[in-house]
Structure formats: structure tokens, C-alpha cells
């Protein structure tokens, strides 16, 4: 069981400051990999909470491996995001104020090797044709990604 799960046993749905990492994965056509979440029906980036003793870069790599089944090699820091627009209330009532460190990586596959574990589908999106139903905590991250493109 992970660190956040253990905290939730103690504090219930009470708001937590959650430090995590996400990965912006771009394919050879500069399209963005998004994963469709089963908990809220929105699209999101591979990512999640940091575990005790883990570096944030390793968190982003682990979450990408766990959620999409792919290994990323060269990663670069994209940015650090926090503030009221990264607040999120999960469908189960858990509340978090996210501090998210975002990395970028290149993906050189054709998509057939992507193996989802926590999501029901994936897709690569053109930077200026991202879906409107993205998970609320990543809206600002995606806006900045598009602004930099």
C-alpha cells in the first residue's frame, strides 16, 4: 500500500498537500500522449504521488511505466505547478492540493506497446487539438505546454 493510501486511513478525505510528478510524453510527430481516466472520465497525463524515499524524476518514470507500460529514457524538467487551480476533489471525496513537477520525454514507439493498467484507453493528440475534457489539475499544465509549442 502506498504512502497516500496510508495517510488516507488516518485522515479520511481531509485535504492533503500531495507532491507528485507527471510526464509529458511526445511522439515523433510531437503529439501528446494522454490517458483516459476511469475514475472521472477525463483525459490525463501519466503521473501520480511520490512515494517515501523516491525522487520526483523517478516518480514520473515509475508512473509512466505503471500507467502506460512504457519506459522513458531521456527526460527534461518542464515545470513546477502548484496553487489553487491544482486543487482537486476526487470522485470518492478525497481532497488534495497538488504540487506537481512535470517532466517531458520522447516516445519512439508506434503505440502498440502501450499497456494500460489504470486507464481504459490512450491516444496521441496534436498540441492544438487537445480534448476539452481533461482532468482539472492538469488544465494549467496543458495550457503552458500549448503556449510553449
CATH number at residue 79: 3.90.79.10
Q: At 114, is the pLDDT very low, low, confident or very high (cuts 50, 70, 90)?
A: confident
> Tell me: the pLDDT tens digits for 11-55?
999 999 999 999 999 999 999 999 999 888 999 999 999 999 999
> How many domains in the chain?
1
Q: Is the pLDDT of residue 125 over 90?
A: yes
Mean pLDDT confidence for 108-136: 87
pTM of the predicted model as reported, rounded to 2 decimal places: 0.92
Domain that holds residue 136: 3-148
Q: Is the pLDDT of residue 1 over 70?
A: no
CA trace torsion 3, 143, 127, 64 (10° rounding): -10
Mean pLDDT confidence for 143-148: 94
Amino acid at each position: 500500500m502506498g504512502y497516500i493510501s496510508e495517510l488516507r486511513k488516518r485522515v479520511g478525505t481531509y485535504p492533503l498537500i500531495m507532491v507528485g510528478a507527471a510526464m509529458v510524453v511526445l511522439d515523433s510527430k510531437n503529439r501528446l500522449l494522454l490517458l483516459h481516466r476511469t475514475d472521472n472520465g477525463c483525459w490525463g497525463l501519466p503521473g501520480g504521488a511520490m512515494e517515501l524515499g523516491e525522487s520526483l524524476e523517478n516518480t514520473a518514470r515509475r508512473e509512466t511505466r505503471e500507467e502506460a507500460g512504457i519506459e522513458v529514457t531521456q527526460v527534461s524538467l518542464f515545470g513546477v505547478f502548484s496553487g489553487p487551480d491544482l486543487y482537486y476533489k476526487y470522485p470518492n471525496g478525497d481532497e488534495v492540493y497538488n504540487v506537481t513537477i512535470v517532466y517531458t520525454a520522447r516516445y519512439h514507439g508506434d503505440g502498440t506497446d502501450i499497456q494500460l493498467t489504470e486507464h481504459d484507453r490512450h491516444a496521441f493528440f496534436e498540441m492544438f487539438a487537445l480534448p476539452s475534457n481533461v482532468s482539472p489539475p492538469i488544465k494549467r499544465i496543458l495550457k503552458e505546454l500549448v503556449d510553449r509549442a
